[in-house]
A and B are shown apart, each in its own frame.
Chain A
Amino acid sequence: MSKKRINILLAGMLLLVISVGATFAWWTASTQVTQTINMGNLAIEATVEQLGDNENYEPGLTVEQDGTVTNTGTIETLISVDSSSTVESKGSEGTETAISIAFKPLGGDGYWFKDASGRAYVLLSPGETAEVEIVSSLNGSDMDNTYMDSTVNIVGDFHATQVLDGALEAEFGIVVDDLIDYEENFSRGVKSEGMKRLHDLTKRGK
């Protein structure tokens, strides 16, 4: 390697050293601080007593069963029930609109509410259990003779969601202001403990 090349190389190194020096023109120091967030979970469990006698039912009758619903998650939840019942008739089976299901309070924990249509909801904190009566109606006006000798599978579909307006609207099509106490035995303008709790929970929402 010629001396000229060596000189150019050395001059290049010199420039590099100077430029490296220039990047430290400001004195800096850095550190990191971390915030950890654990998400909760939403889960429920429901139990229903089986019927002792399940033969020879007819349109217009109702089926009452006792049961429980428990909040097994880690956050507050509002629960309601829908019907996913099916009817096996003449070889066909499908979801049946002639059977409707509702539930009502029997005891236990939770605050009960209903909307304008009369649909019931129960507010449960983590670990709480509500005792419920599940009422399944075999709607006479929707059941003609084709339902004779058919087998009805009554399926109660419990839904639970977060106690926030956005979640209630997405799951049940309601907002918190659509709800009233299940038992309306409060003076006008006085909020029940349950309604206060419900509104406090929805206020947490952004």
Chain B
Amino acid sequence: MENKRGDSFASLLFFGIIFILLFFPINHVSAIEDTDKEIDSMISYTSSFKIIDNNEPGVLLDLEPLVIQRTSQKSDELVVTIRILSENMQIVGDYELFDGEKNEMYSLEQLKKGESFKIKDSLVFSPNLFFLGETTGNQEMNTQSTITYELILENHSANKDKDIIVSDDETINRLPQTNEKLENKYVYIGFFLIVFVTYCSVNIRRKVKRS
């Protein structure tokens, strides 16, 4: 009796794990991959900058602004987190942010920690950076420094599935093609149900045969 209870509990756990493994993580991983692809269709951003040559301490760097443009209105709320990675401690200054309506100033130190911004239409980050002359000695001559912008895009949509995955009614209703990634969660649920029903029927047959 105890063994039978243990068996049924273990079976339940097994299928529970199979269900979660099949549905939740795979769906999430595929969602992230989809979002990676989607980043190009939802926003555009300055992808490269011209190299600033012959810079000297104390002179405002002639840096191009980082422009992030929203290209899709499908998502309810698009948030970008900007984190600046710069190893050179002599680079100081601030950024002027224009979000289409107002200007705000952010220090480089603030942005090094990371700041999040909602993208309505566009964000323009104009850098006012320079090498601090008082601390930049001759050892910095002919050296190369980099400022890396790390952009983390988050989609805070109320209905993520509809908004993120590019699909129309035709895409949702049609059957997946060979080698096509399964993006619809109902396919996973259906697959799980088929496996579960098959297992149950095989188990019942065995029990009937034994009895």
Contacts and interface: CB of A to CB of B under 8 A. Distances in A.
Interface in A16-37: 17-18, 20-21, 24, 26-37
B9 A7 contact: yes
A205 interface: yes
A33 B85 CA distance: 10
Given A37-B146, A167-B58, A28 B17 contact: no
A59 to B, nearest CB: 38
B53 interface: yes
A28 B151 contact: no
A37 B62 CA distance: 10
Chain B interface size, under 10 / 10 to 19 / 20 to 34 / 35 or more:
35 or more
Interface stretch (A39-47, A93-101, A139-147, A151-159): A39-47
B149 A40 contact: no
Contact of B51 (A10, A14, A38, A167): A38
Given A3-B10, A24-B31, A206-B58, A35 B49 contact: yes
B60 A21 contact: no
Taking chain B's interface residues, is the majority helix, strand, or loop, or is none over half, making it mixed? mixed
B164 A167 contact: no
B149 A162 contact: no
B17 A30 contact: no
Contacts of A65: none
A164 B133 contact: yes
A106 interface: no
Given A6-B10, A14-B17, A37 B28 contact: no
Given A10-B17, A42-B56, A33 B31 contact: no
Contacts of B58: 162, 164, 166-167, 205-206
Taking chain A's interface residues, is the majority helix, strand, or loop, or is none over half, making it mixed? mixed
Interface in A171-206: 204-206
B20 A14 contact: yes
A83 B74 CA distance: 72
B38 interface: yes
A21 B28 CA distance: 7
A28 B51 contact: no
Interface in A89-125: none
A35 B153 contact: no
Contact of A38 (B14, B20, B54, B60): B54
Contacts of B156: 26
B44 to A, nearest CB: 11
B25 A40 contact: no
B147 interface: yes
Contacts of B93: 206
Contacts of A40: 53-56, 141-142
Interface in B124-146: 128, 130-131, 133-134, 138, 140-146
Contact of A24 (B14, B28, B141, B155): B28
26 contacts: A7-B9, A10-B10, A10-B13, A10-B17, A17-B25, A24-B31, A27-B32, A27-B164, A28-B152, A32-B148, A33-B66, A33-B151, A34-B147, A37-B91, A37-B145, A38-B52, A39-B56, A39-B142, A39-B145, A40-B55, A42-B141, A162-B58, A164-B133, A206-B93, A206-B128, A206-B130
Interface of B: 6, 9-10, 13-14, 16-17, 20-21, 24-25, 28-29, 31-32, 35-36, 38-39, 45-49, 51-61, 63-64, 66, 85, 91, 93, 128, 130-131, 133-134, 138, 140-157, 160, 164
